[in-house]
């Protein structure tokens, strides 16, 4: 009768609607392409010297070699042609990051009197400046690194460098530096200030280098 | 049965006390020096509020949200700073000139950052890799400003 047929039609209609819903499957989104990257070469904040950078991807590379030279790299072509960004634009885009850049680490080189554990007079005179540099930093770190020349064995020089570094560390702590701020290490003969051959006496290599960060 | 359990317990105790190497802390790559607003370090899936003086390690992610900024100085004097809504990852950091180990890989993920090279760039510039989504940057004694376009 008509009741039965209506129910059948309704059932068929429902099936069609459901089938329609089923076929509306959402295809997975394709992965987003890598974001473009803007690279700007800046002069060193303290020395004002400009270095060099090379921006490359699979399509090619571009060299940045002048202050505020910049290139925009995208994922689908070689890095863009170099343009010079204005100082205003640099400040606008990078101002907050530049303001957050920590101050440059300060370096001091102390030397010892010949065959002695005593600092030279010139080096003793540097101690107040070192302490002032430490006080200028909110949470300072002081790295004290001992060095030797190439006389003697490498392993012994590693130990000798450490002994020199400890001597300087003790002098600084005596002068008021908090011990917890100081890290002591040795580069032995592996980090020469003046390049020499092995087994060469060179007073300028017999030193302790202090970095205040 | 209980004897076996006791031996197991003793063994576990001995192993725990003779494996100090496993418990050794890795050396920091550097320290946070400046913080402004919302800045964080992500380490082993934990999010830590950044504070001046906090140690930073290889594999750490530096992240800022709106209005945040952070500056870090690494052990070789490399300096990195982030502006707002930014993210940089320290993928690799090795500074051991006495032992001949030098290398750094930074990944600029999002936002704006400034990079000032340090001693690793002077001693072994080819050991440094600055990665961004669309390009790799090689450095020679360089200060760079990098923005990953939104």
- Looking at A75, A99, A123, which one is the last position of a domain? A99
Report the 3 state secondary structure along B57-94: CCCCEEEECCCCEEEEEECCCCEEEECCCCEEEEEEEE
* A82 and A111 both lie in a single domain: no
Q: Judge whether B73 is closer than 8 Å to chain A, CB to CB.
A: yes
ipTM (interface predicted TM): 0.83
Partners of A105 on chain B (C-beta within 8 Å) are 73, 77, 118
- Cβ(A70)–Cβ(B149) below 8 Å: no
Predicted confidence at residue A18, as pLDDT, reads: 52
Assess whether A124 and A94 both reside in one domain. Answer: no
How many Cβ atoms from other residues are within 10 Å of residue B139's Cβ? 23
Q: With a cut of 50, list the residues of chain A below it in pLDDT.
A: 1
* Same domain for A183 and A204: yes
Residues A94 and A110 placed together within one structural domain of the fold: no
Subunit contact B145:A99, Cβ cutoff 8 A: no
| Alpha carbons B126 and A99: distance in angstroms, whole number | 28
Within this chain, do residues A157 and A203 fall inside the same structural domain, yes or no?
yes
pLDDT of residue A28: 77
Task: Identify all chain A residues contacting B69, using CB atoms and an 8 Å cutoff.
Answer: 96-97, 99-100
> Which residue in chain B is spatially nearest to A139 when comparing CA positions?
B53
| Identity of the residue in B134, B135, B145 whose CB atom sits nearest the CB atom of A40 | B145
- Between CA A94 and CA A98, with CA A97 as vertex, the angle to 5 degrees is 80
State the nearest Cα–Cα gap between B45 and chain A, in angstroms: 24
| Residue B47, domain member (yes or no) | yes
In 3D space, the residue among A70, A66, A69 whose CA is nearest the CA of residue A50 turns out to be: A66
Q: Going residue by residue through chain B, which has 150 residues, state the pLDDT in tens, using 9 for 90 and above.
A: 444 445 444 444 444 444 444 456 788 999 999 999 999 999 999 999 999 999 999 999 999 999 999 999 999 999 999 999 999 999 999 998 767 799 999 999 999 999 999 999 998 999 999 999 999 999 998 899 999 988
- Please give the biggest Cα pair distance in chain B: 67
Q: Please check whether residues A170 and A121 belong to one and the same domain.
A: yes
- What is the pLDDT at residue A12? 55
Q: Are residues A46 and A143 in the same domain?
A: no
pLDDT of residue A13: 52
The sign of the torsion formed by the CA atoms of A155, A158, A160, A166 equals: negative
């Amino acid at each position: 009768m008509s009741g039965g047929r209506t129910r059948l039609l309704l059932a068929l209609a429902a099936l069609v609607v459901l089938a329609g819903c089923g076929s509306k499957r959402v295809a997975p989104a394709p992965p987003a392409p890598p974001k473009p990257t803007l690279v700007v070469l800046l002069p060193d904040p303290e020395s004002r010297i400009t270095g060099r950078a090379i921006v490359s991807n699979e399509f090619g590379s571009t060299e940045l070699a002048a202050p505020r030279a910049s290139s925009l790299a995208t994922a689908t072509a070689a890095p863009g042609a170099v343009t010079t960004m204005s100082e205003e634009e640099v400040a606008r885009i990078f101002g907050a990051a530049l303001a957050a850049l920590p101050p440059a680490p300060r370096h001091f080189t102390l030397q010892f009197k010949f065959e002695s554990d005593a600092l030279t007079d010139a080096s003793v005179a540097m101690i107040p400046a070192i302490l002032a540099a430490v006080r200028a930093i909110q949470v300072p770190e002081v790295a004290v690194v001992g060095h030797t020349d190439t006389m003697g064995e490498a392993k012994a020089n590693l130990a000798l460098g450490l002994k020199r570094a400890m001597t300087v560390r003790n002098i600084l702590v005596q002068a008021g530096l908090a011990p917890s701020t100081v890290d002591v290490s040795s580069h032995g003969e592996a980090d020469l200030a003046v390049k020499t051959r092995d087994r060469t006496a060179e007073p300028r290599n017999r030193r302790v280098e202090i970095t205040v960060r | 049965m209980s004897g076996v359990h006791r031996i197991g317990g003793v063994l576990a105790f001995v192993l725990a006390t003779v494996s100090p190497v496993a418990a050794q802390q890795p050396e920091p790559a550097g320290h946070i020096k400046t913080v402004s607003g919302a800045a964080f370090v992500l380490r082993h899936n934990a999010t830590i509020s950044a504070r001046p003086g906090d140690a930073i390690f290889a594999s750490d992610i530096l992240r800022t949200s709106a209005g945040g900024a952070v500056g870090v100085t690494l052990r070789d004097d490399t300096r990195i700073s982030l502006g707002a809504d930014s993210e940089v990852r320290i993928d690799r950091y090795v500074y051991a000139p006495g032992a001949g180990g030098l290398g750094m890989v930074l990944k600029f993920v999002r936002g704006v950052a400034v990079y000032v090279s340090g001693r690793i760039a002077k001693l072994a510039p080819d050991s440094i890799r600055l990665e961004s989504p669309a390009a790799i940057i090689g450095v020679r004694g360089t200060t760079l400003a990098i923005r990953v376009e939104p």
